[in-house]
Structure 1
Amino acid sequence: MVVAWISWLSLFSIWSLLCTAIEDLQVEPQNSTVLRGSDARFNATLQGTWQVMTWTVGGSFVLTATPAEIISSSQMFSARFCSSSCVEFTIHNVSRSQAGPIICSVQAGYTPQTAQLSVQESGTVRITSGNVTVMQAQQVEFQCETTAWFPIPSVSWNLNGQAVDSSFYNTTSMADGHFFNSTSVLKIKTASSTKVECMATLPTLKTPQCSSVFLVVVPKPPDWTVLIAVVVSFGGIALLVLLIIGIIFIYKYRKEKKTKLPR
């Protein structure tokens, strides 16, 4: 019984040590999403003494830190002590090839901690038609193309600064290698000149990418068909009246001429 009790005590001690080790090192944030070309930062907080800390990006050791110094393999990686028990690790000018697990390891009993890095990338936005001139009440179609985005961007339209209901446009996307391209088609019928904007954005973009053109609406020319028909009708009636008057005049003239002839 004593042996069994000691065995259970030993297992409990080991389990307690493992749980303590897991809590000794924390990396935050656990998930980070940044825009390509920006900086990604991770904080490692420790409890207890430590000698050597390493950071791994893309399967390669990129930085080593001790309580006395920081050694980096490249200017793309740096670190600073945010407190005696905290190290801030920074990846500068992040590229998409660095997306994935970011591992912090500390020697002497600390369990390695892993964070996930996601990298988004903004491309270009272009309304292909350029400025358009149409007549009133005419339907017009605009096409907006987004190129080289990751992941698929959110595309929307504005008319004179006001958001367009999504029922008026349709957006399709397709993969192109490691990027996504999208095409959005807007169909509208407007009565006045309008500024048309196509915008694409990602969660990490502070300001959407935008392309704009102008829709110039000119007054519809008058429909002369009815007026011409009326003029022709009145002209025909007038001509007929003149013809009848002429016939009557000729008839009277001939009749008067006959009465004046000697018998």
Structure 2
Amino acid sequence: MGSSRTGILATLVVLAGLAASGSSYEIIEGPKNATVLEGSEARFNCTISPGWRLIMWSLNGTVVLSITPTEPIITSDRFTTASYEEGGNFISEMIIHDVQLSDAGHVRCSLQNSDRDASAFLSVIVMGELFISSGVLIVIEDEPCNVTCRASGWTPLPDISWEIGVPVNHSSYYSVREPDDPQSTVSILALTPQGNGTLTCVATVEALQVHKSVTVNLTAVQPPVGSLDKPGASLPTWAIALLAVSFSLLLILIIVLIIIFCCCRVPGREKKGSSYHSEVRKSATVKTNKETLQTKLKSGNENHGYSSDEPRTTKSASVPPRSSEPSVPEHRSSRQPYQGPDDRQQGPTSRPQISFIMASPRKVRNVTLV
């Protein structure tokens, strides 16, 4: 009975000793979050109690550095270590050289044969480009203008502000992200300059209070002579409204005059066209009457082949009564009786005279042939 109790106590002492030896080393303080610039160094510390056998550092789940009590096990030149002792505890420091954006993530410190670990987060800031759209700005004095500053390739996006070294009447600015480039932002400064000076665009990352700036010279020139766009020479509101109403009334008046002119011009054209057609019809009627008269004159029988060298004597013939029926020309002829020799001696022989009448429904014509 006594021996069994002694065995149990011995077993408990051994287990207690094993437990004490296993728990004799632990992570007292783990690494802390860090934010660094791309290309710089990042440092993480892990404080461990005495009795440790192996310390392992991992980045985003991959072991990059191991440390033993005698020497470190280095797998990459970018990851090195430094060791310190403080109050009997061991401090292991991991140094990441030339930090890249891909290094951003979880940093973990762990011990061999222990489920205890400590982790932190590494943030990497990328400072991109910063520029103003124009190196030299020439603007008109006392006229509003805009100046654009663009930050490109930044992670995270910076806050942009302006330092105005120009006398101004008014100034304000705002920033917008570019939808096609998540690492770029644009800041637009609106101002009304009243003289020459400098404008400075400043991009700041709040996490590290790091900034980058660019400066541009601004030259304000006098407005052209006679310019009406100068704010100091602008018309009052009531004058602008009066001018707008006047121009509207003038436009309506011009439209009314055009309509009246068109309406008055159309009847004149119709009258002119009617007079023109009337003249054409009149000319056609006169021409037709003339042709009819010539035709009627040619309808008579005329002897165009006879020609006489002696003077003609015309005898008037009695005109028969006019009737509705066209009269037929009557041919009368007389033959002189035979003349003897005595008669021929009296003088030249007289030729017979033939007289006939040409009649038409409208006109009777006497024609005498000698």
TM-score (structure 1 length as normaliser)? 0.69
Shift of 1:24: 3.3
Distance 2:151 2:42 in 1: 26
User: Counterpart in 1 of 2:359?
Assistant: none
2:188 corresponds to which residue?
A: 185
Bigger RCO (CA 8 Å, 6+ sep): 1
Relative to structure 1, the CA distance from residue 219 to residue 111 in structure 2 (aligned partners, 3 Å threshold; closer, same or farther) is: same
Q: Cα gap change, 1:224/1:136 in structure 2, threshold over 3 Å: closer, same or farther?
A: closer
* SS in structure 2 at match of 1:49: coil
1:173 aligns with 2:188: no
Q: 1:22 to 1:46 in 2, by over 3 A?
A: closer
State whether residues 28 and 43 of structure 1, in contact with CA within 8 Å, keep that contact through their aligned partners in structure 2.
yes
Q: Residue 78 of structure 1 corresponds to which residue in structure 2?
A: 80
Number of equivalenced pairs: 204
**Residues 1:202 and 2:205 are matched in the alignment:** yes
Query: What residue in structure 1 maps to residue 97 of structure 2?
Result: 92
Confirm or deny: 8 A CA contact 1:50 1:108 kept in the other structure: no
Q: How does 1:60-79 map to 2 (within 5 A)?
A: 60-79=62-81
- Work out the CA distance in 2 between the residues paired with 1:129 and 1:140: 13
2:40 is aligned to 38
> Is 1:124 aligned to residue 129 of structure 2?
yes
CA distances 1:171-214 after superposition (whole Å, capped 9, x unpaired): 0114667x510011111001110201111121355652112111
Conserved 8 A contact 2:31-2:119: no
Compared CA separation, residues 133 and 175, structure 1 to 2 (3 A) = closer
- Which has the greater radius of gyration? 2
Percent identity (aligned):
30
1:158 is matched with which residue: 163, 166, 175?
Answer: 163
Superimposed CA distance per residue, residues 105-138 of structure 1 (whole angstroms, 9 cap, x where no aligned partner): 1114360111111111100001002312223211
Alignment CA distance shift 1:23-1:203 (3 Å): farther
In 2, Cα distance between equivalents of 1:197 and 1:128 = 12
Q: 1:110 to 1:161 in 2, by over 3 A?
A: farther
| Unmatched runs of 5 consecutive residues or more in structure 1 | 1-12, 226-263
CA distance in 1, matches of 2:125, 2:96: 15
Deviation (angstroms), 1:96: 1.4
Q: State the one-letter code of the partner of 1:183.
A: V
- Separation (CA, whole Å) in 2 of partners of 1:175 and 1:52: 49
Gapped regions of structure 2 (runs ≥ 5): 1-15, 229-370
Q: 2:112 aligns with which of 103, 107, 132?
A: 107
Equivalent position SS for 2:183:
strand
- Is the contact between residue 27 and residue 117 of structure 2 (CA under 8 Å) also seen in structure 1? no
Measured in 2, the distance between the counterparts of 1:60 and 1:21 equals 27
User: Is structure 2 residue 146 aligned with structure 1 residue 141?
Assistant: yes
Q: Aligned partners of 2:178 and 2:146: how far apart in 1?
A: 21
Letter in 2 for 1:69: E
- The answer (yes or no) to whether the contact 1:21–1:109 under 8 Å persists in 2 is no
Distance (Å, rounded) in 2 between the aligned partners of 1:138 and 1:119: 43
**TM-score (ref. length: structure 2):** 0.50
Does the 8 Å contact 1:22/1:110 carry over to 2?
Answer: no
Q: For residue 149 of structure 1, give the secondary structure of its aligned residue in structure 2.
A: coil
The residue type equivalent to 1:103 in the other structure is R
RMSD value, Cα: 2.9
